[in-house]
Amino acid sequence: MKQAGIASWSGKRVWVIGASSGIGEACSTSLLAAGAKVALSARRIERLTKLASTAQINQTLVLPVDVTHREQLESAYQHILENWGALDLLLFVSGLYVPLRADQFEMDIAEQTIDANLLGPMRAVAIVLPEMLQNHAGHIAIVGSVAGYSGLPKALAYGPSKAGIINFCETLYYDLLPQGISVHMISPGFVATEATAQNDFEMPALITAEQAAKEIIVGIQNGEFDIHFPKRFSRFLKFLRILPYPLYFWFVRRFVQI
């Protein structure tokens, strides 16, 4: 059994959470250009409004939310239902990255990271699932990261939050495939955005947010579960994680010098 893709974006109702910058903004721009209706969510309303001003009238909804507040997500979703009747795709892109090593491990940052990156997507999924299950239709796409594949330096809170996303998507896929709902797990490598601008090392296989958006949109169109890119980097990390631990840690210490 293969899950459904999206053959045409024209008129499709998409909720992009994390639309105010980076990968989410690039996805929203591409989806709007392809004729989808896009509900734009994140905290920075001025960015969302600016993006909406580039679209056609009635093509967007501007719904500011903080993903750590369940009631804000709930009211945004109600707004979507009232205006559009249903949702075809939840595209959860929003995320928080604060570099963290063991010698400056801060519990506040860990809690914020798990709250935004793991509990945030869980909240959004819990909200959209009842209608999707009722209709036996819909798509759930969540941006995780290749940093969730296995432990990497400077990712003491970010890595576990993204590892959780992988497990969450895998488990969702089991349950939702027989229900006619597609799940898309998205694992980017390095993408040039505000989040990575803070990195003080040379990022291997760095791509633009527009390239990332293209990979994501084509992957969803094709009904792919495991959307990972750029392949030259993500395949290498997939290979590393199947190595025995001594070899894995040797590789990481030898080649990831950050």
Residue numbers at the binding site for ligand NAP (CB under 6 A): 18, 20-24, 42-44, 47, 65-68, 93-97, 116, 143, 145, 188, 190-191, 193-196
Q: Which CB sits closer to ligand NAP, 179 or 199? A: 199
Determine how many CB atoms are found less than 10 A away from the CB of residue 59. Answer: 15
Q: Which CB sits closer to ligand NAP, 57 or 107? A: 107
Q: How far is the CB of 81 from ligand NAP (least distance, A)?
A: 20
243: DSSP letter: S
Burial of 31 from C-beta contacts in 10 A (0-12 / 13-18 / 19+): buried
Q: What is the CA angle 178-144-45, rounded to 5?
A: 105
Give, in order, the Cα–Cα distances in Å from 59 to each of 33, 93, 178.
10, 20, 32
Q: Which CB sits closer to ligand NAP, 59 or 68? A: 68
Q: How far is the CB of 241 from ligand NAP (least distance, A)?
A: 16
Q: Which CB sits closer to ligand NAP, 149 or 190? A: 190
Give, in order, the Cα–Cα distances in Å from 225 to each of 11, 58, 187.
23, 31, 11
Q: How far is the CB of 202 from ligand NAP (least distance, A)?
A: 13
Q: Which CB sits closer to ligand NAP, 23 or 169? A: 23
Q: Which CB sits closer to ligand NAP, 52 or 116? A: 116
Q: Which CB sits closer to ligand NAP, 145 or 182? A: 145
Q: How far is the CB of 115 from ligand NAP (least distance, A)?
A: 8
Give, in order, the Cα–Cα distances in Å from 169 to each of 172, 175, 236.
5, 10, 21
Listed in sequence order, the residues at least 6 apart from 134 whose beta carbon sits closer than 8 Å to its beta carbon are none
198-234 burial code (b ≥16 CB/10 A, e <16): eeeeeeeeebebebbbbbbbebbeeebbebbbbeebb
Listed in sequence order, the residues at least 6 apart from 202 whose beta carbon sits closer than 8 Å to its beta carbon are none
Cis peptide leading into residue 153 (ω within 30°): no
CA torsion angle 35 141 182 84 (round to 10):
-40
Q: How far is the CB of 156 from ligand NAP (least distance, A)?
A: 15
Q: How far is the CB of 162 from ligand NAP (least distance, A)?
A: 7
Q: How far is the CB of 168 from ligand NAP (least distance, A)?
A: 13
